Structure formats: C-alpha cells, structure tokens
Amino acid sequence: SQQGEEDPQALSIQEGENATMNCSYKTSINNLQWYRQNSGRGLVHLILIRSNEREKHSGRLRVTLDTSKKSSSLLITASRAADTASYFCATARFGGSEKLVFGKGTKLTVNP
Amino acid sequence: KAGVTQTPRYLIKTRGQQVTLSCSPISGHRSVSWYQQTPGQGLQFLFEYFSETQRNKGNFPGRFSGRQFSNSRSEMNVSTLELGDSALYLCASSLLMRTALLGTETQYFGPGTRLLVL
C-alpha cells in the first residue's frame, strides 16, 4: 500500500520559476527521502530528512518535514529544463528494515 | 565507484515462463532491495536481503522469490509469468552500517530491468 501521497500529481512551470511538491504520509517514520526519476529510468536519490529534522537544503533543493502533520515538501528553486522528471517521496520506518514506501509521484515539466 | 548495475535491461517473455533478474550492488554495500514499478500500482517493495538473508518481504505472491550471494549480488526470480508482471523492476543497495534502531540508510537505485510479458 502507498504510504506517501504526492501533491500535485502533475506540475508544469517555466524555466527559472520555483517548483513546490508536497507529500503526506500515514504512519510514524524514521526518515523521509525524495527521489527523482527521468522517463522510466532508475531513481536518483535527492535528499534524506530524518524525523528529528525540520528543514534541509541541498543546492537548489529545500525539503521541510512536519511530523505533526505527517507531511513534507520539496522546493526546487530556479528550475531548469533538466529538472523535468517525476519526483517521489519515500518513507522509512524504524525497525532495521531498508524498506521504503513510495508515493505515486509528482510529474514535473519545466518548459524552456 | 561503479553504481548499481542490473541485467538484463530489457526482457520480453510470454505468459507461463519464468525469468531471473540480476543486481550487482555498489561495492561494499551489503543490503539489496527490490521494487516493482507499474503505472497502476506505482513503486512497490518486493523484498530485501542482507548477508544472504531475506530480512523483509512485500505483499507479493510466492511466484516472486529472490536470493543474495556471499558477494552481495542478488537475483530475483518470477515463475509462471502473468501479463500483470510487466513492469520496471528496480534494485537498490545501501551500506547498512547502522544498528536496527537507527533505521535505513540512503538507497542507491540501479537503472532497472524492464520486463514485458506477452
């Protein structure tokens, strides 16, 4: 079953604009991760935020986590055409398993 | 350092056949997980191996099985293929240095094997 639910399902913006994607989940988590997937290829890890963290930055990426609302957001600033991809959030629980539970993803299109 | 590799990249099979997919993790990574991705169900966890032992299994029928070798390479097998098994099968590896209490590491995914069942 899906744990994370991304919102929106699809997002189309112009190059240079910011893109914000949201993710909600249902159960308590150890950490939440964001991945990017280009056109049905493998997943590329973007950022991991632990349950005791509220915000994390990596280059043009900013991730927030609100465990009280069971939600996370991914902000991509100054987007580029190369950012066009599907973005997935994935949650990991405590307990020693490497299992990730993925949402259905947000398809981002950045128009040049 | 080489990334996660998966072979074959593409595969076409017919219903009733069986298939074996292979995954080589990043050197030094001891944990390997498998996921199935379909347009309808999205990304779903199949199973996870560490030190040749299956540590966790997703909600898939017994036709789906896997194993891990002493060099951490992993294979998954699907027997009696059905049309619904057509999917992208992704393998991921992680270092797994932490204790069970601290939870998962970052997982690094391979390019996937695209399986088409006719």
- Please write the tens of the pLDDT for every residue from B75-96: 999 999 999 999 999 999 987 6
CB of A14 closer than 8 Å to CB of A81 = no
Shortest Cα distance, chain A CAs vs residue B7, angstroms: 13
Q: How far is A71 from chain B, CA to nearest CA, in Å?
A: 19
- Report the SS3 class of residue B85: helix
Quote the minimal CA–CA distance from A112 to chain B in Å. 27
User: What is the reported pLDDT for B73?
Assistant: 97
- B residues 25-54 lying closer than 8 A (beta carbon) to A: 31, 33, 35, 42-45, 48, 50
CB contact under 8 A, A42 and B99: no
Contact A97 B56 (CB under 8 A): yes
3-state secondary structure of A70: coil
CB contact under 8 A, A30 and B56: no
Are B63 and B4 in contact by the 8 Å Cβ rule? The answer is: no
Q: Rounded to an integer, what distance in angstroms lies between the CA atom of residue A26 and that of residue A29?
A: 9
Using a pLDDT cut of 70, give the percent of chain A over it: 92
> Model confidence over A26-64: pLDDT tens digits?
888 888 999 999 987 889 999 999 999 999 999 999 999
B91: which 2 tokens?
């393998």
